[in-house]
Amino acid sequence: MDIKNEILWRIYLVALLLILFAIGIFMKTAYIQVVEGKHWRAVADSLYIDYRPVIADRGNIFAEDGSFLATSLPTFKVSMDCKSTAMSDELFNQYVDTLAHCLSTLKDSPYTAGGYRRMLVEARKAGKRYVLIKDKVEYPELLRIQGFPLFKFGRYKGGLIVERQSERRRPFQILAHRTIGYVRENVKPVGLEGAFNDQLAGEQGQRLMQRLPGGTWIPVNDLTEIEPENGKDIVTTLDINIQDVTENALYKAILRHNAEHGSAIVMEVATGKIKAIANIGKTEDGELWETYNYAIGESTEPGSTFKLAAIMALLEDGYVEPEDSIDINYGKMEFAGEEMVDASYHRLKSATVQHAFEISSNVGIANMVYRYYTRSDKEEQFIKRLKEFNLDQPIGIEIEGEGDPYIKEVGKDNWSMITLPWMATGYELKMTPLQILAFYNAVANDGKYMKPYLVNEIQEYGKTIEKFEPKVVKKTIASSNTIRKAQRMLTGVVERGTAKKIKADNYRMAGKTGTAIINYRKNLPAKFRKYQASFAGYFPAENPKYSCIVVINHPKQNGIYGGEVAAPVFREIADRCFVTHIDLQSPINAEAKPQLVAAKLPRIYSGYTDDLEESLLRLDLPVRSRTRADWASPRMIYGDSLELNRRQVNRGKVPDVRGMGLRDAMYLLGNEGLQVKAKGIGRVTTQSIKPGTTTRGQTVFLDLKL
């Protein structure tokens, strides 16, 4: 019994000791976590060292002439390790005042010298390892900071921490903003920045870094263990001057017409290079900015710009000729019980195909398509022609977000008896502005369909590593005969049709206006309708260099039609391109110097001989024979040169001043004591007193004409 009690006592003692030991461990753990937790977590963090990625400098995006569209500028984040092990209290106290003063002189400094001193002293007492001095410091300012007192001793003794960053800049701001695009965290990449992100981003490097309390990482040293590989550059097809012109012209039109948004594209006809692409829309604050790439992404019913495709299908199938007469029934006609009307009343019962196209007659174009294709065996032929024009295919542009073209299939997609006539006028189908422009560009390019593209090449340190050449999608979209007729009809629209207001004197343009109701519903009152105005074409008409499309959505004032809203933007772009690009000009000395003939000689007045000779010399007009007389009259001889004949002036006689300017005539008449009264401008054609009459102080009346 005693042995049993002794064993139980020992067991209880061991159990008690174990319980006490467990309680001690629990209390110590709680003490460490609650009382000393902050200290030990800081110690743990400060001992954690790891290799962290170093972001490479992003490649540049250039315009075709080398202008920067987007570039990465190096900036630096400057911080201070106030508890650096190599920084003694003596050294810190010696320089903290002058360092605080220097920091207060930095641009946009948030503290005074006293404020900086207080912040640094408190950080030193608290043992802070990371105190932000300034973010986004540019290199010249960094050099200055590195020379500040205390910081000049470097990373360990002076506590200076410098982290290199990269900031993306766009020198031209809004210009091609959406096309250039961006790459951001947790946001889908946009534009060229997104499409060529792999090339632009480069390869990350590695750097040994130390984690501080709160998750902040600071570099252990100033060197990168594995250097990043900088991104490659891309050279676009954009012409910065044409882009600027296009952007400004579109911007002004959006303001003038109080439109919701708009887009414009300029393309090089022969190659398909996109020289400018502009998109202007309203932000939530009502400001105008490139909020969305409408030119590439917005697929809508194009309206009358699509009539070119309908006419070309009719021409290609041999159903009509431009000179044929067609019924347009005063601009009103029913198709399967649905009435179609022309945009403006024209009082024409009939018109030629050419004229119907020029005045953009909905009834005329729809009637032809309805007449020749609305049969079970012909409807598919019309759709086939549209596909031959490549209108059913997306462009495949380099950047994301292209809207899909939509062409109805016969017997599908809600096909009805009114589908064809409405398709002929640009409804019941959808296309983006770029897809429409590519079609017009093919017509301007004599039928050759070029793929539009935005990037010329990829470069690395100025050396080309990949080049993108123009790509022919189709050698011809229609017969040469159809293309020539279509070109003449497009020129007629500007010469005599709905776009005649933009006709220029010094060069010719070709194109087609378009106006579409974008919220079309039957019986919708006119005041509630929303319109899309457009114009697509090319210039110069005889030898096209550039094609262009302008689309403006929902203009609310100063017009709604393509001819008054979009066409003037096209004209402004074309004018600026024409006067600023020498390759569009015809040299004035391209032909042989013409022989001088009387009908084409400049108007040279009779007058004082020395003045006449000086004028002829400045005009580079050869003079074969001269006179010693004070007064002379020019006369053409030999068909290619002039002679100066003596003009007789006798004292006491009324001089012959016919053919002279008013100044010379008044001089001669005044010398003879005659009074002069003149009317008109130019040179003297008649004088009231016959030359040679004896002077007696008479009044001479002169008539002048140019």
Average pLDDT of the residues in 167-186:
83
Output the six-digit token pair for 224: 């990168």
314 and 454 assigned to the same domain: yes
Mean pLDDT, to the nearest integer, of 622-635?
Answer: 73
8 Å CB contact between 240 and 66: no
**What is the pLDDT at residue 560?**
95
- Which CATH number covers residue 328? 3.40.710.10
Spatial distance between the Cα atoms of 362 and 418, rounded to a whole number of angstroms: 13
Residues 331 and 469 placed together within one structural domain of the fold? yes
Say what the pTM is.
0.72
Q: Considering the domain boundaries, does residue 183 fall inside one?
A: no
Q: Burial code of 269-295, b = ≥16 C-beta within 10 A, e = fewer? A: bebbbbbbbbbbbeeeeeebbbbbbbb
Q: Residues 55-70: what's their mean pLDDT?
A: 89
pLDDT-derived band at 613, boundaries 50, 70, 90 = confident
pLDDT of residue 26: 77
Q: Answer yes or no: is 667 within a domain.
A: yes
- The SS3 of residue 530 is coil
Number of Cβ atoms within 10 Å of the Cβ of 530: 16
Is the pLDDT score of 598 beyond 60?
no
Per-residue pLDDT at 13 exceeds 60? yes
Residue 28: per-residue pLDDT: 76
Mean pLDDT across the chain: 87
As a dihedral over the C-alpha atoms of residue 468, residue 470, residue 475, residue 478, rounded to 10 degrees, the angle is 130
User: Domain boundary residue among 179, 206, 231?
Assistant: 231
Same domain, residue pair 656 and 624: no
Distance of alpha carbon 104 from alpha carbon 95, whole angstroms = 14
CA-based nearest residue to 545, from 557, 553, 537: 537
Q: What pLDDT score does 224 carry?
A: 54
Q: For position 592, what pLDDT does the model report?
A: 64
CATH at 161: 3.90.1310
Domain that holds residue 450: 243-584
- In a domain, residue 166? The reply is yes
| pLDDT computed for residue 39 by the predictor | 60
Give, in order, the Cα–Cα distances in Å from 133 to each of 111, 208, 282: 11, 22, 39
Query: Per-residue pLDDT tens for 517-576?
Result: 988 776 667 777 899 999 999 999 999 999 999 999 999 999 999 999 999 999 999 999
Q: Are residues 518 and 612 in the same domain?
A: no
Range list of β-strands (E), 145-189: 160-169
Residues 663, 632 share a domain: no
Cβ atoms of 541 and 591 closer than 8 Å = no
CATH number at 683 reads 3.30.10.20
pLDDT band at 635 (very low <50, low <70, confident <90, very high): confident
Task: Quickly state the pLDDT bin for 629 (edges 50, 70, 90).
Answer: confident
Q: Reply yes or no on whether the pLDDT at 696 is more than 70.
A: yes
Position 390 in a domain: yes
Q: Is the pLDDT of residue 682 over 60?
A: yes
593 in a structural domain: no
Same domain, 361 and 348: yes
Same domain, 201 and 254: no
Q: Is residue 39 part of a domain?
A: no
Q: How far is Cα of residue 586 from the mean position of the Cα atoms in its chain?
A: 27
pLDDT at 37: 63
Q: Is residue 632 pLDDT above 90, yes or no?
A: no
Domain membership flag for residue 270: yes
| pLDDT the model gives residue 661 | 84
pLDDT, mean of residues 256-272: 97
% of the chain surpassing 90 pLDDT: 53
Q: Which residue has the higher pLDDT, 182 or 361?
A: 361
**Does residue 20 surpass a pLDDT of 90?**
no
In eight-state DSSP terms, residue 695 is P
Q: Which of 125-139, 220-234, 478-492 has the lowest mean pLDDT?
A: 220-234
Please report the pLDDT score of residue 626 as a whole number.
67
Instruction: Give the 3-state secondary structure percentages of the chain, helix then strand then coil, rounded to 5.
Output: 35, 25, 40
Same domain, 693 and 559: no
Q: What is the mean pLDDT of residues 444-468?
A: 96
Can you give the pLDDT at residue 597?
52
Q: So what's the pLDDT on residue 218?
A: 63
**pLDDT tens digits, residue range 131-174?**
899 998 988 999 999 999 999 998 888 989 888 788 888 888 78
Same-domain check for residues 213 and 293? no
Q: Across residues 605-630, what is the average pLDDT?
A: 73
Give the pLDDT score at 487: 98
Residue of 487, 313, 441 whose CA lies nearest to 387 = 313
More confident residue, 496 or 285: 496
- Say which residue, 630 or 269, is predicted with more confidence: 269
In this prediction, residues 680-689 reach a mean pLDDT of: 86
Burial 9-44 (b: 16+ CB within 10 A, else e): eeeeeeeeeeeeeeeeeeeeeeeeeeeeeeeeeeee
Q: Verify that 199 and 348 share a domain, yes or no.
A: no
| In the predicted structure, residue 599 carries a pLDDT above the cut 60 | no
Task: Report the percentage of the chain scoring pLDDT > 70.
Answer: 88
State residue 101's pLDDT score. 94
Task: Give all strands (DSSP E) within 518-576, no chain letters.
Answer: 531-539, 546-553
135 lies in the same domain as 249: no
Q: pLDDT tens, 385-443?
A: 999 999 999 999 999 999 999 999 998 888 999 999 999 999 999 999 999 999 999 99
> Is the CA virtual torsion 591, 597, 602, 608 positive or negative?
positive
Residues 389 and 281 both lie in one domain: yes
Give the DSSP per-residue string, 474-491. ES-SS-HHHHHHHHHHHH
DSSP 247-264: HHHHHHHHHHHT-SEEEE
pLDDT for residue 552:
98
The DSSP letter of residue 689 is: S
Number of domains the chain is built from: 4
Token reading at 554: 């929902």
pLDDT bracket for residue 86 (50, 70, 90) = confident
The reported pLDDT for the residue numbered 442 is: 98
Whether 27 maps to a domain, the answer reads: no
Tokens 């309390």 belong to residue: 213
